[in-house]
Structures are given as structure tokens and as C-alpha cells.
Amino acid sequence: MHILIVEDEPGVASFVGRGLTEAGHQPDISETGEEGLRKALQKDYDFIILDLILPGITGLEVCRRYREEKAFDTPILMLTALGSTEDIVSGLKVGADDYLVKPFKFKELMARIEALTRGRTRQASPEKLKIIDLEVDLYRRIVSRGGQMIRLTAREYDLLVYLLKNKGRVVSRESILAAVWEMDWDVETNVVDVYINYLRNKIDKPFDHKLIKTMIGMGYILTEETIS
């Protein structure tokens, strides 16, 4: 994969770049937010590793502007030395798909990359998931509702696909976190609720018929039925 690393700490950038090269990937390294954003917009990368604190514009601003101007399908992993819930949620809100707190082990970084890119290769034949007027083309990774294209981040897309594959069935926050984030449940983590809200704003809020329902104390369900 062609991977962009935006990291101003030479030791971290070198460590990650060397490991990715040895793993068979092609890393590009940028040391500032401006340079990283310019490269991201000029080239087509398969994955972006983005530090939160950068000289010039921050990683949050790079992520936000990249998502506004270009691809929503390219996974973005945010690196942070902060690790507080507020910092993590801020990164997720502007379009990051996951985060990794410094210091980290390279095998942990690779596990996150593999989890975010798993299943993104094209399948042998087109396959679609659908519920009333909401449709996901898994071959082209296109989401639409009522004939209107909907742009999702990589993580939002994975969450929607999981809900569609389990449509009509209540799925718990624990099962969503395990399947979509491949993480054990952390009682202090509200990332599932945050992303459910993101999805609702994009696939439900603009339409009369709401598909994502909350089952209090149990989780969520994607269904065309009305639940009282």
C-alpha cells in the first residue's frame, strides 16, 4: 500500500517508515501539516497516518480539510500523545477512523492498519446490501439513499455495513465495538454512540423514514419498522 505519514518527530517518522517499508508498503513522510495536506490532496494514498500535534496547521485541521476536499474512503489513523476522551472524540469528529496513543509498538500499528483496510479490496462480483431506499454497493463502496449519493468515512461505512448485515436484529454496543473496531468493550468509551450519531445525521436526518433505532439498555437496530 502507498501510505502517507504526517509526523514531525523524526524518530517516530523514521521508526514507522522503516517498519512499513520492511512490511512491503510504500511510505511517504511529511513533517508539517501543510506539506502533509498538500501531498494527500495531490496523490491517491491507500492509508494516512496523521499526528495530532504538528507545526503549522494541526492534524485535526489537516484531517478536516482533507475530508472536505477529497476522499472519504481513505482510512485515517490519528497518532496522539494526549489520549484524553476529548482529544480522541475531536479527531473522530473531523473524519479520523481510529487513533493510537504514543508510545506504541509497531505490531499494534500494523494491527490497526490491517483492521481498517481489511475487506477493502474489490470482490469477484458486485454485491449490494439494501433496506428500503438505502443501498450499499460493496463492489464500488458506494452508499446511496433515495438515489442520493451519501459520503461516509471509512469507519462510518464499516459501521453501516455491519448494521445492514444484521438488519432487523438488535446489536449491542459491545458487539459493534468488537466487529467494527475489533476492540474489547471499554465502559468509558462512547465511540459507538458517537458514530451512530454521525450515521444518523447522514442517512436518516435528511429523510422522513428513520432506519436506525435505539433499543434502550440493549443497543441499536437497523429496521424499516416503527418501534415504539
Q: What is the pLDDT of residues 66-75, one digit of tens each?
A: 988 875 678 9
Q: What is the mean pLDDT of the chain?
A: 87
54-73 mean pLDDT: 85
- H/E segment holding residue 41: helix 33-42
Q: Which sign does the torsion angle of CA 174, 179, 181, 183 carry?
A: positive
Domain 2-117 has CATH 3.40.50.2300: yes
DSSP 174-208: HHHIIIII-----TT--HHHHHHHHHIIIIITTSS
Name the residue ranges covered by the structural domains of the chain: 2-117, 128-222
pLDDT of residue 123: 41
pLDDT of residue 122: 43
Compute the C-alpha angle 129/198/205, nearest 5°. 80
pLDDT of residue 115: 86
Q: Are 97 and 112 in contact (CB under 8 A)?
A: no
pLDDT-wise least confident of 71-80, 112-121, 198-207: 112-121
pLDDT of residue 78: 92
57-67 mean pLDDT: 91
Q: State the Cα–Cα distance between residues 28 and 2, nearest whole angstrom.
A: 8
Q: Which CATH class is domain 128-222?
A: mainly alpha
pLDDT of residue 159: 95
The answer, yes or no, to whether residue 226 has pLDDT greater than 90, is no
Q: Note the pLDDT tens digit of each residue in 143-199.
A: 999 999 999 998 999 999 999 989 999 999 888 988 888 766 555 678 899 999 999
Q: Are 165 and 127 in contact (CB under 8 A)?
A: no
pLDDT of residue 124: 39
